Amino acid sequence: MQKRWPLLLILACYLLVGTLFAAQVPDWQAPDEPAHYNYVRQLANGRLPIIAPGDYDQAYLDEIREARFAPEYSVDDIEYEDWQPPLYYLLLTPIFILTNGALLPLRLASVLIGAGVIWLAYRIARLLFPEAEWVAWSTAVFVAFIPQHVAMLASVNNDSLSEFLIALLLYLTLRWVTRDGIRKLGDDRPWLIGLGLVLGLGFLTKATVYLMAPVLGVVLLWQYWGTWQRLFQAGVLLFAPSFVLGAIWWVRNVIVYGGLDILGKAAHDTVVVGQPRTMEWISKYGMDGTIQRFFQTTFNSFWGQFGWMAVPMNQPRAIYILLLALVVLAVLGLLLYRFTTSQIPMQFRSRLPVLILWLVFFLTLGIHVGYNLTFVQHQGRYLFPALIPISLGFSLGLGTWLLLVEKPFRRERPFLVNLMPIFIGVAFILLDLFALFRLILPGLSVS
């Protein structure tokens, strides 16, 4: 029988740590938090935001960040997230109204959404590895306690809902393609329509969810290749609902911003004047220097670089070195995984689930790299849409080494891999608390 208490314990610990971050991190000391907050404020005042000149002032942002968002500095005019789709902010608007705009309840709402991401990470790993509970526990632990991820989920930011919807699409897709029995289009209709509706909600949440559209397109081609009428019907059933929901936002943007700016991205780019651009950095640091900064900052900020990238986890520097060693071990272990698959019960019907996971990872990576070709945004959090495949890879990679260590003992049930989620969970929770109380609070609080 499946044990539920480990997942409940992981969720309880996450909610505790996430609540600590939400309550203790100084106001506005999360990336873009004032702009996301002001989107909710405008909705509460009965106005759907429109991004316009003046919403972004690089000089003022530099000044207010330097002052650590001291109370004498107003954040009311920081509104450069007004181009974003509205769903996340609509969900937070009733909380804003009921609490008179208090920041903490809004942060806690994001923490609660994050718990859904962790639960789905567990369910995805259990679906793919039903006989290896340690894989699911470890995957959930990584998603729950990476310090930067906790910090982001404990802030006012639409990343939490977009991650939840990506995770839900990933889970529903994997459940659909790993079902037993002969598939008929009639049996697929509820799955296809459900996936289309969730994808449409993603279109109304954040542009990062769009990466799931090509993933679902590949899945349809895989499932119905050679049966073109069924492929067409399946495509209509899936993409028609998502298109109808997305069109609500796209048509609005065309009316407001003109042209074919269906996402509002062109309007955003004309407003954020002064944001550092990659060509400027290449002129300043050279191509090698820019690439080196991209990789180093992306790595550091994936694990933890807090506030507006002002507080890295380099005190002591050994933290990043140990995390790099962990990454190397996990990658090498994943490469060795194919030699130990007989000991890791993986219940894939085909190679399609593996393809889905890799597609999510590479599309997310491609979006991150592509954005940085224009703007300097070396933030590792942009890889979090693929955090579930990444965490699953970490779990398998590290677990492979432990299985190899245990192999000579020929135990009926592996011992070390079942302890791995505990050790990783305790280590990362301690790192979370260290980052919060020894780095974030001293580094970001107003003097």
pLDDT in tens, 298-333: 999 999 999 999 999 988 889 999 999 999 999 999
Cα-to-chain-centroid distance, residue 105 = 21
Token pair recorded at residue 289 = 């220097």
According to the model, what pLDDT value does residue 181 have?
45
What integer pLDDT is reported at residue 345 of this predicted model? Answer: 45
Predicted pLDDT at 410: 59
Distance, CA of 68 to CA of 59 (rounded, Å) = 14
Q: Would you state the pLDDT for residue 269?
A: 87
Is 36 in contact with 156 (CB distance < 8 Å)?
yes
3-class state of residue 261 by DSSP: coil
Look at residue 352 and give its three-state secondary structure: helix
| 348 backbone φψ class: left, alpha, beta (φ>0; ψ -120 to 50) | beta
Residue pair 42/48 in contact by the 8 Å Cβ criterion? yes
How much is the pLDDT for 184?
59
Collapsing DSSP to helix, strand or coil, 375 comes out as strand
Compute the chain's Rg from CA coordinates.
22
- Taking residue 111's Cβ as centre, other Cβ atoms within 10 Å add up to 21
Task: Tell me how far apart the alpha carbons of residues 109 and 119 are, in angstroms, rounded to a whole number.
Answer: 16
pLDDT for 405: 81
Domain definitions of the chain by residue range: 5-444
Tell me the three state secondary structure of residue 277. Answer: strand
Sign of CA dihedral 14, 19, 21, 27: positive
Amino acid at 303: W
| Rounded Cα–Cα distance for residues 179 and 7 (Å) | 24
Q: What does the pLDDT read at residue 275?
A: 76
- Position 255, amino acid: I
Rounded to two decimals, the pTM is 0.95
Give me the residues of the chain with pLDDT under 70, please.
1-2, 180-186, 338-350, 408-413
